Structure 1
Amino acid sequence: MFVSRPIVSRLLQQTVRRYHGGEHFKPPSMDELPVPSGSWQAQYDANQRRYNAVLLFGVAFTVGSIIAAKASGLVYLNYYPPKSID
């Protein structure tokens, strides 16, 4: 009984939020932000090349997966109405 008392009282105790950084806290300033360097257009073009390559790979992988599933007979894509039962 005595061992569980500190644990239970600790769980029921209200916590206090302290929104300060201590005595050595220095508020952030604009001087700490990174300084841009290089051409933004060159970086933009490089990013777009990479994004387009990922997009093309995703489309090719999806189409390849659908073709493989269709060829294996796992899926029926309902291209046309089913044949008559008669």
Structure 2
Amino acid sequence: MFARAALTARSGVISRPLARRMAYAADHTPPTMADLPVPSGSWSEAHSKKQTKNNLHLLFGISFAAVTLAVAKNSGLVELGLGPKIGK
């Protein structure tokens, strides 16, 4: 009884090769350049908007990293290992 249950459970675990089942479609036409979307609007305007967004994202990331590092250093959580303190 246990052997039959083990064989049944094993058949569910064993992976079988996947079949792609790609059939020939009679009405299929290969894609052409005419199927691609046509650009509209000014390229320079779209580029400047995208660059503005990317630059703001970069500035936010740099400022967030700098503030995080400053807070971690001032709280004593991180020791940067800059050397011994020299002073009178």
TM over 0.5: yes
Q: Structure 2 length as normaliser, TM-score?
A: 0.68
RMSD: 2.9
Aligned residues: 78
List alignment gaps of at least 5 residues for structure 1: none
The 4+ residue runs of structure 1 with deviation greater than 2 A are 13-24, 81-84
| Structure 2 stretches lacking a partner, 5+ long | none
Partner of 2:33: 30
Partner of residue 50, structure 1: 53
Identity across matched positions, percent: 39
SS of residue paired to 1:46: helix
Note if 1:67 corresponds to 2:70. yes
Report SS of the residue matched to 1:50.
Answer: helix
